[in-house]
A and B are shown apart, each in its own frame.
Chain A
């Protein structure tokens, strides 16, 4: 009926009735502001002078030699707060300001989106509450402290598996109760319409920039690779290249330890379409239609769902979705650190690992990898594994 809410057959608004007026209000403001010159120039100024755009495209020569292909990194790890997340939180915080709301809430897995939301809230003078699963809060303790330092309240969620999915449930509950003065800054291209479209719009700057930068360097990439949890960094860079049929595009899911139940987060690889957090999309579920436990070494990819846009891109065949295991991601993490002097986030390490593990496929080709975040936050996990 309402085609605008869907990517192919995926998407929709599967939320409590109480949220419908707020989603309509958000849709109204988003559509108005994305065509508003004043809003666009305000956001553009913030992204440039505050957050560090444009981020460079860097040719990783040493790693390229190692892999037998030309690897280019889109350096979102250089963004303020350490990842691509701030592209979205600045955009949504600005929307919040125009809507006249004075409080924001967010869910976070790795803590990157939480920090980016707390940062935007501090900048705009808004109240901020971030929901984080207890397990994630423990494995990303420095990010908890950063959020608190920035003035945000951090709620440690004790339900379910106590990770990103449960943090999202808690944020949704809080939003239902406070929707009249609060905006929910969703961190990925998940959730009910218009969130998947709006977050993709705010992240499209990655791909638009990267496309121009590659052209300036005199080429179009043969392949574009990004890691996919909810899928915001991936959709961000993909949008610069989806229209060019010569560019092969790859999304990399977290393969965890194995394909056994509860040991991976391969939403597209192992899931089937279902409904979670407001949208119909691929979902890792049990035979009884319960959402299944998932695992990834990376808190940002440890999520049973995926943005509806990716489900549609998978079904249409435009994007190939693969996976790497925890150990392969760690290996890529180590390689980039030692060969290039760049410490990547464990999330982004999955994208790199996919190229390293599939050398033959990428041999001799120009491969653009979205280095979506930096790895400072992952020191605890790295030390646990004895890498230093």
Chain B
């Protein structure tokens, strides 16, 4: 599974829509749309500064999701996911979020909602699958806890750190264990930059997601398209 993360509504609505549709038009399997939150604690400087800019300009959840809906109508095959922090979904309302957007989303990715807290949002009515994380320090019992996930894939954070970190990915078997236990594709994120990184992730566990490198290019549509094209 090949996927890209882009910041919703950034740098403006039109440019966001173009980038969103470009990813879908290239035939990639999934897209992660970020709904900006003022406290992006899991994000490194590039994504955090894009998010801050978006927050300063005003975040319109309905508008972002309307654009995702329009894209999905045109490209029904792509899996759309939302990446946002817990306060956004809780504030909007877990049930309302599911009622409004459950039909177009394959999953939600919530970086400040670890597996053991999933129940908290599910009890409040979140019915969209929550995509679980596995990390280099996940223990066997942590991975065991996600084996019955309804999510279409498991997200492997390959480094200890925030998005876009230049640390080397951890060399251990956590992602393989996750793949074996869940039987789902494991998408590797955080620190994937080049075609080689991506190929390695595909070979190892079946998928990758790139964030920082595309967000960097979200303001320059030509360079954005050129960058993603190499992963076709």
Taken residue by residue from 166 to 197, chain B's Cβ proximity to chain A (1 for < 8 Å, 0 otherwise) reads as: 01000000000000000000000000000000
Contact (Cβ within 8 A) B58 A17: no
B 107-136 contacts with A by CB, 8 A: 111-117, 119-120, 132-136
Contact (Cβ within 8 A) B160 A20: no
Cα–Cα distance between A176 and B48 once the two chains are bound (Å): 16
Stretch at the interface among A57-65, A271-279, A372-380: A271-279
B138 interfacial by beta-carbon distance below 8 Å: yes
Contact (Cβ within 8 A) A14 B117: yes
Cα–Cα distance between A103 and B42 once the two chains are bound (Å): 21
Stretch at the interface among A196-204, A287-295, A320-328: A287-295
B162 CB contacts on chain A under 8 angstroms: 173, 176-177
Return A288 CB to nearest CB of chain B, in Å: 5
A13 CB contacts on chain B under 8 angstroms: 114, 116-117
Using known A-B contacts A1-B119, A176-B42, A176-B160, determine if residue A17 contacts B87 with beta carbons closer than 8 Å.
Answer: no
Using known A-B contacts A16-B41, A16-B112, determine if residue A275 contacts B85 with beta carbons closer than 8 Å.
Answer: yes
Contact (Cβ within 8 A) A291 B39: yes
Contact (Cβ within 8 A) A17 B91: no
B38 interfacial by beta-carbon distance below 8 Å: yes
B55 CB contacts on chain A under 8 angstroms: 290
Contact (Cβ within 8 A) A275 B87: yes
A259 interfacial by beta-carbon distance below 8 Å: no
CB-nearest residue of chain A to B115: A17
Contact (Cβ within 8 A) A291 B87: yes
Taken residue by residue from 89 to 118, chain B's Cβ proximity to chain A (1 for < 8 Å, 0 otherwise) reads as: 011100000000000000000011111110
Task: With a 10 A CB-CB cut-off, give which of B55, B59, B120, B133 has the most chain A CB atoms.
Answer: B120
A15 CB contacts on chain B under 8 angstroms: 112, 114
Return A208 CB to nearest CB of chain B, in Å: 33
B142 CB contacts on chain A under 8 angstroms: 17, 20-21
CB-nearest residue of chain B to A178: B160
Contact (Cβ within 8 A) A290 B59: yes
Cα–Cα distance between A180 and B159 once the two chains are bound (Å): 12
B15 CB contacts on chain A under 8 angstroms: none
Return A199 CB to nearest CB of chain B, in Å: 19
B61 CB contacts on chain A under 8 angstroms: 288
B76 interfacial by beta-carbon distance below 8 Å: no
A2 interfacial by beta-carbon distance below 8 Å: yes
Contact (Cβ within 8 A) B48 A289: no
Interface residue tally for chain A (C-beta within 8 Å): 36
Taken residue by residue from 274 to 305, chain A's Cβ proximity to chain B (1 for < 8 Å, 0 otherwise) reads as: 11111010010100111100000000000000
Contact (Cβ within 8 A) A159 B52: yes
B27 interfacial by beta-carbon distance below 8 Å: no
Residue from B48, B113, B132 within 8 A of A14 (CB atoms): B113
B48 CB contacts on chain A under 8 angstroms: 159
A 251-278 contacts with B by CB, 8 A: 274-278
Interface residue tally for chain B (C-beta within 8 Å): 45
Contact (Cβ within 8 A) A177 B117: no
Residue from A16, A160, A274 within 8 A of B87 (CB atoms): A274
A 158-215 contacts with B by CB, 8 A: 159-160, 165, 169, 172-173, 176-180
Contact (Cβ within 8 A) A2 B116: yes
B113 CB contacts on chain A under 8 angstroms: 14
Cα–Cα distance between A283 and B39 once the two chains are bound (Å): 13
A18 interfacial by beta-carbon distance below 8 Å: yes
A19 CB contacts on chain B under 8 angstroms: 114
B37 interfacial by beta-carbon distance below 8 Å: yes
Contact (Cβ within 8 A) A289 B91: yes
Contact (Cβ within 8 A) B37 A290: yes
Cα–Cα distance between A16 and B15 once the two chains are bound (Å): 30
Taken residue by residue from 1 to 39, chain A's Cβ proximity to chain B (1 for < 8 Å, 0 otherwise) reads as: 110000000001111111111100000000000000000
Residue from A16, A165, A276 within 8 A of B114 (CB atoms): A16
Contact (Cβ within 8 A) B137 A180: yes
B46 interfacial by beta-carbon distance below 8 Å: no
Residue from A17, A288, A291 within 8 A of B133 (CB atoms): A17
Contact (Cβ within 8 A) B139 A179: no
Residue from A12, A179, A280, A290 within 8 A of B137 (CB atoms): A179
Residue from B59, B90, B135, B165 within 8 A of A17 (CB atoms): B135
B88 interfacial by beta-carbon distance below 8 Å: yes
Residue from A21, A276, A280 within 8 A of B139 (CB atoms): A21
Return A129 CB to nearest CB of chain B, in Å: 15
Cα–Cα distance between A169 and B37 once the two chains are bound (Å): 12
B225 CB contacts on chain A under 8 angstroms: none
CB-nearest residue of chain A to B84: A289
Return B88 CB to nearest CB of chain A, in Å: 5
Contact (Cβ within 8 A) A176 B161: yes
B157 interfacial by beta-carbon distance below 8 Å: yes
B22 interfacial by beta-carbon distance below 8 Å: no
Q: List 20 A-B contacts (CB under 8 A).
A: A14-B112, A15-B114, A16-B157, A17-B133, A17-B135, A17-B138, A18-B137, A21-B138, A21-B139, A169-B41, A172-B41, A176-B161, A177-B160, A180-B137, A180-B160, A275-B87, A278-B112, A280-B90, A288-B58, A289-B88
Could you list which residues of chain B lie within 8 angstroms of chain A, going by C-beta atoms?
37-42, 44, 48, 52, 55, 58-61, 85-88, 90-92, 111-117, 119-120, 132-139, 142, 157, 160-162, 165, 167
Q: Known contacts A18-B135, A275-B85; can you find 7 more A-B pairs with CB under 8 A? A: A12-B120, A18-B136, A172-B41, A177-B161, A180-B137, A283-B87, A288-B60
Q: Which 9 A-B pairs have the closest CB atoms?
A: A289-B91, A17-B133, A177-B161, A275-B87, A290-B38, A275-B86, A17-B114, A18-B135, A291-B38
